[in-house]
Amino acid sequence: MQIRELIISSFRSLISNKRRSILTMIGIIIGIASVITILALGDGARLAMLKNLQADSGGQQSTQITFSPNNSDVKISGFNNEDLARIRSNPKVAKVTVQSDDHGILSSEGTINGKSLSSLVYLATSANDNKILAGRGIKDSDISIDRPVALVNKSIAKKGYRTIRNALNSGIEINGTTYTIIGVIDNNATRGEFYNYDVVVPRHVFETSNATVNANTLKLTFISGTDISKTTNDIKDQLNQMGSQHSSGSYDFYDTAAMLKGVTMVIKGITYFIVAVASISLFIAGIGVMNMMYIAVSERTQEIGIRMAVGASQKQILWQFLIEAVMLTLSGGMIGYLAGLGIAMGISAFLPFKASVSISTFLLAFGTSTIVGLVFGILPAKTASNKNLIDILR
Amino acid sequence: MINLVSISKSYRQGNENYKALHEISLTIQAGEFVAIMGPSGSGKSTLINIIGFLDNNFDGQYNFNDTVVNNLNRRDHARLRNQSVGFVFQNFKLIRNQSVGENVGLPLLYAGLKRRDIIARVNDVLEQVGLPGSYDKLPKNLSGGQQQRVAIARAIVTKPNFLVADEPTGALDSATSREIMALFKELNQHGTTVIMVTHDENVARQTNRLIKILDGRLQSDMEVEHADS
Ligand SMILES: Nc1ncnc2c1ncn2[C@@H]1O[C@H](COP(=O)(O)OP(=O)(O)O)[C@@H](O)[C@H]1O
Ligand SMILES: [Mg+2]
């Protein structure tokens, strides 16, 4: 007999006992749904964490400490040279960059020839041709008539246009404004001792584009293998004790990594618990399936006899009942899978990350419910196929 | 076609073995119409179950054409049952929650035929037994005689070498019995071998050969004399 026929006839006998089939499936549904819920949430949390902890292109990880003044009207810089020197002396810190409006340097997003970049922009208020390599510097006249011109460093020029010469008189977009590159500067152009910058543009032109910028932010990059949360926290505590502005504001470190790590740990704990409960649920559900199949086999003894009498082999009878059991658990499993996803989506509406739908959880639900059906269906199916024809027909 | 050599069969009844058949030897040719008679408990069903490939657990030798039936394993025995014999029972033995057509098509399903071919063949056979257009009916909505016709249709659907019937008219009134016997007769006249167990002298008289059994032993085996021939 063809598999298709087996499936059709199994399906029909399940349908003809609708209530019993559904009751038997409930255990499977609950078991699978709870496992899928927790796995979808756990996966979501893990993915969110990975994204947040993602190392930069050099394999280094970075964090940010921000300074917020108590009185938000005053413009003060939270980090002076002394602070920076102290932080830099920490052996785990590879690089310290200040992104501070007070020094006229801002971290800003932009694009050059279609490639996005995030650069430190020096907002010039006067003529500037510091460390110029090619082209010309920004002149007073550029500033006074708000000409959109820019100096970019060598690596940005090469990133956008391959050669310095091509870059000259080409465009760069920063925070929504397009500037003409009139000059190329050295990669290690700095203001003062620590304030690196990559791009110079006239301040007034920049400000009219209404830029949103990070002020008073310290970007720390660590050597690989550092516990970045702990080190950053230490530096933050140190700043709050003896930083240059510790009395007029506070230094904060928003540790997204730690938060997500915490959530993941909690979810991991819950996962073990749920998986344990679900296994018990699935086991009991499996016993239920077995029980139902035994009842079905004894109720349908006559049918089994008739099928054998017209030539069904033992194997065909075995498969009929086995497929019936598997279809029962598999339908339960699929309903449970959908229910689990629904619940996970519902819960993640209240969490800072999204539940993740993955093919592996689907396969898990599919596989587990099939296995439950096979394991708990095999004995009743064997009983059916081993029945003695003569005894049945008497 | 059928050749039994010294067949014996014992049943376990509690702690004892009860011998239901004693060294029965018998030959039946293709095309015969055979009746087996005997009192209740004499071993008729036991014998016909062996002949009809339902029971392969006996002593002695059973040759079916070139096949030694008692040497077959369970799978081959089931295949032989599927393809070479059609069995008709006293109480019809139809699957209750399946339609008439599905009941009749069941042997073909196990023979591995495609659904489309099965449906065509089933409709043909239903017409042959006098039940055209009843594919989708449920057995419980049919009379006893009609149900037995369905059972006969199922028995002949695979075009088996022979039909075996264990008291096929036992549950039917005399008028219906006559109809069913007429159907068997017609099948036999078209070349089907029929072996039938019966209690009823009137039924037995319509066959061509009468075998009598008593206490598991062959008592007599004779040609039936027909008034009209
Ligand atoms: N499956 C069985 N187990 C035990 N004894 C059986 C079984 N089938 C039949 N018998 C016994 O074998 C004898 C013959 O039975 P059976 O062939 O059914 O007789 P008949 O069909 O002629 O009435 C009876 O005594 C019956 O009790
Ligand atoms: Mg009997």
Which residue among B12, B36, B45, B56 is best mutated to probe the pocket of ligand 1, counting the most ligand atoms within 8 A of its Cβ? B45
The confidence score (pLDDT) of residue A242 equals 84
Mutational test site, ligand 1, from B9, B13, B18, B217, max ligand atoms within 8 Å of CB: B18
Q: What mean pLDDT comes out for the span A73-89? A: 73
Tokens 């008497």 sit at which residue?
A394
Q: Which of A200-204, A327-331, B55-59, B81-85 is least confident?
A: A200-204
The minimum CA-CA distance between A318 and chain B, rounded to whole Å, is: 13
> How many angstroms separate the CA atoms of B54 and A305, rounded?
10
Least trusted range by pLDDT, from A99-108, A159-168, A172-181: A99-108
Which parts of chain B are beta strand (E)?
2-13, 16-28, 33-37, 59-64, 67-68, 85-88, 162-166, 193-197, 209-214, 217-223
How much distance in Å is there from the Cα of A330 to the middle of ligand 1?
Answer: 44
pLDDT at residue B28, as a whole number: 95
Mean of pLDDT over chain B: 92
| Closest to B217 (Cα-Cα) out of B69, B14, B39, B11 | B39
pLDDT of residue A382: 96
Q: Is position B13 within any domain? A: no
Q: Quick one: CA torsion of A342, A348, A353, A355, rounded to 10 degrees?
A: -20
Q: Calculate how close chain A gets to B151, using CA atoms only, in Å.
A: 11
Q: How far is the CA of A208 from the centre of ligand 1 (A)?
A: 106
Identify whether B106 is part of a domain.
yes
Average pLDDT over residues B179-188: 92
Interval B112-141: pLDDT, tens = 998 889 999 999 999 999 999 999 999 999
Which residue bears the tokens 């080409």? A170
pLDDT value at residue A250: 85
pLDDT at residue A57, rounded to an integer: 45
Asked if pLDDT for residue A96 goes beyond 90, the answer is no
Per-residue pLDDT for A73 more than 70? no
CA distance A355 to A335: 18
CA B45, CA A394: separation in Å to the nearest integer? 9
Interface test with B, best of A16, A307, A310, A390 (most B CBs within 10 A): A310
Does residue B14 form part of some domain? no
Helix axes B174-189, B144-156, angle to 10 degrees: 20
pLDDT at A233: 85
The answer to whether residue B15 sits within a structural domain is: no
Q: How does residue B229 score in pLDDT terms, banded at 50, 70 and 90?
A: very low
pLDDT band at B167 (very low <50, low <70, confident <90, very high): very high
In this complex, which of B49, B97, B110 lies closest to A312 when CB atoms are compared?
B110
- Listed as own residue / partner, the contacts of A55-62 with beta carbons closer than 8 Å and 24 or more positions apart are A55/A224, A56/A221, A59/A224, A60/A94, A60/A221, A60/A222, A60/A223, A60/A224, A61/A221, A61/A222, A61/A224, A61/A226, A61/A228, A62/A219, A62/A220, A62/A221, A62/A222, A62/A228
In terms of residue numbers, what domain contains B157?
Answer: 31-55+82-223
- Most confident by average pLDDT, A57-61, A224-228, A275-279: A275-279
- Going from the Cα of B104 to the center of ligand 1, the distance in angstroms, rounded, reads 28
A308 CB neighbours in chain B (<8 A) are 78, 81
Q: How many CB pairs under 8 A join A and B?
A: 65
Average pLDDT, chain A: 84
Task: Give me the pLDDT at residue A378, please.
Answer: 97
Q: Are A210 and A79 in contact (CB under 8 A)?
A: no
Task: Say what the pTM is.
Answer: 0.70
How far, in Å, from the CA of B173 to the mean position of ligand 2? 18
Lowest mean pLDDT: which of A20-29, A48-57, A356-365, B103-112?
A48-57
CB of B90 closer than 6 angstroms to any ligand 1 atom: no
Q: Is residue B201 part of a domain?
A: yes
* Distance of CA B8 from the midpoint of ligand 1 (Å): 13
Query: What's the total number of domains in chain B?
Result: 1
Q: What is the CATH number of the domain that holds B182?
A: 3.40.50.300
Q: Above 80 in pLDDT, residue A230?
A: yes
**Confidence label for B21 from pLDDT (cuts 50, 70 and 90):** very high
Q: Would you state the pLDDT for residue A283?
A: 92
Q: Which residue puts its alpha carbon closest to atom 14 of ligand 1? A: B43
Stretch among A166-180, A286-300, B6-20, B61-75 having the lowest mean pLDDT = A166-180
Collect all residues with Cβ–Cβ distance below 8 Å to B44 and sequence separation of at least 6: B36, B37, B38, B166, B197, B213
pLDDT at position A100 = 59
The answer to whether residue B17 sits within a structural domain is no
B180: how many CB neighbours lie within 10 A of its CB? 22
Q: State whether B95 and A303 contact (CB < 8 Å).
A: yes
* B159 domain-assigned: yes
| B75/A316 touch (CB, cutoff 8 Å), yes or no | no
Tokens of A270: 């819950």
Residue B9 maps to a domain = no
Q: How confident is the model at residue A214 (pLDDT cuts 50, 70, 90)?
A: very low
State the nearest Cα–Cα gap between B112 and chain A, in angstroms: 5
- Of the residues B54, B55, B103, the best mutation for testing chain A's interface (the one with the most A CB atoms within 10 Å of its CB) is B54
Among the partner-chain residues B94, B95, B111, the one whose CB lies closest to the CB of A311 is: B111
Pairing label, strands B85-88, B67-68: unpaired
> Which residues in A lie closer than 8 A to residue B9 (C-beta atoms)?
none
- Whether residue A313 and residue B74 make contact (CB cut-off 8 A), yes or no, is yes
Q: Would the CB of B44 count as within 6 Å of ligand 1?
A: yes
Kindly give the distance from the C-alpha atom of residue B43 to the centroid of ligand 1, in angstroms, as a whole number: 6
CB contact under 8 A, B81 and A393: no
pLDDT at A51: 66
More confident residue, A26 or A68: A26
Which ligand approaches the C-alpha of residue B167 most closely? 2
> How close, in Å, is residue A361 to chain B by CA atoms?
37
